[in-house]
Chains A and B, each alone.
Chain A
Amino acid sequence: NAGVTQTPKFQVLKTGQSMTLQCAQDMNHNSMYWYRQDPGMGLRLIYYSASEGTTDKGEVPNGYNVSRLNKREFSLRLESAAPSQTSVYFCASGTELDTEQFFGPGTRLTVL
């Protein structure tokens, strides 16, 4: 099992460009999440999907959109990147039973 995979690992964008971060899991989990990690701020939830076909906003959704393509895949889109979106982005999946989460390796995004 690969667990949770994310692509790309690194990305540099110019202000105003768009991009999609991809995430896939092979653990048959219903729940999937997108977080951003910034120094001194821990992990902040951007969007989550409790099950296939549903998505909900988290703590910091502005400037982002998501798509739960199927049970395995959950993508995060930046329509018009801003320097404030420079961060490390983590995708995670989890079980509803006890909310343990399994994390991908992260995407380091720099917006110039």
Chain B
Amino acid sequence: AQSVTQLDSQVPVFEEAPVELRCNYSSSVSVYLFWYVQYPNQGLQLLLKYLSGSTLVKGINGFEAEFNKSQTSFHLRKPSVHISDTAEYFCAVSGWGGYQKVTFGIGTKLQVIP
């Protein structure tokens, strides 16, 4: 079984400040990790993904995440946020190899304050 914990349900941050959204996972097998973003009244879209290789993954809109196997974490960061980053962010995990179900966290709402 696998699970995802997003430690913060809401994160307020001032515009142009840095932000970190935290994600921890548990799994008995090797994993793929994802961050998705959901803008108001829209579906989810992929922000970035970790499959293998470099533990620092860069995504769209200036976001990046670092895979830390020893701490089972995959935190999302952005050095300077913009108003347009206001959205809900979901961390997700799946196992390797063939078809695997994806488990989503409950989401973190990022509110960028002007």
Residues of A in contact, count (CB < 8 Å): 23
Task: Find out whether the CB atom of B101 lies under 8 angstroms from the CB atom of A105.
Answer: no
Indicate if the CB atoms of A100 and B46 lie closer than 8 Å: yes
Contacting A at CB under 8 A, from B60-107, are 90, 94, 98-102, 104-107
Report the minimal beta-carbon distance from A106 to chain B, rounded to whole angstroms: 5
Q: Is the CB–CB distance between B99 and A43 below 8 Å? A: no
Q: Which residue of B lies closest to A94 (CB)?
A: B102
In whole angstroms, how far apart are the Cα atoms of A103 and B39 in the complex? 12
Residues in A whose Cβ lies below 8 Å from that of B90: 42-43
Least CB distance from A101 to B in Å reads: 6
Closest Cβ–Cβ distance, residue B29 to chain A (whole Å): 13
Whether B99 and A31, one on each chain, are in contact in the complex, defined by CB atoms closer than 8 angstroms, is yes
A-B contact pairs, 29 of them (CB 8 A): A4-B43, A31-B99, A42-B90, A42-B104, A42-B105, A42-B106, A43-B44, A45-B101, A90-B43, A90-B44, A92-B44, A94-B102, A96-B99, A98-B32, A98-B49, A99-B32, A99-B99, A99-B100, A100-B34, A100-B46, A100-B49, A101-B44, A101-B46, A103-B43, A103-B44, A103-B45, A104-B43, A106-B42, A106-B43
Q: A42-B107, A100-B49, A105-B43 are in contact. List 15 more A-B contacts (CB 8 A).
A: A40-B9, A40-B106, A42-B104, A42-B105, A90-B43, A90-B44, A92-B43, A94-B102, A98-B51, A99-B32, A99-B94, A99-B100, A100-B46, A103-B45, A104-B43
The 7 tightest CB contacts between A and B, nearest first, are A103-B43, A42-B106, A99-B94, A43-B104, A103-B44, A50-B99, A96-B99
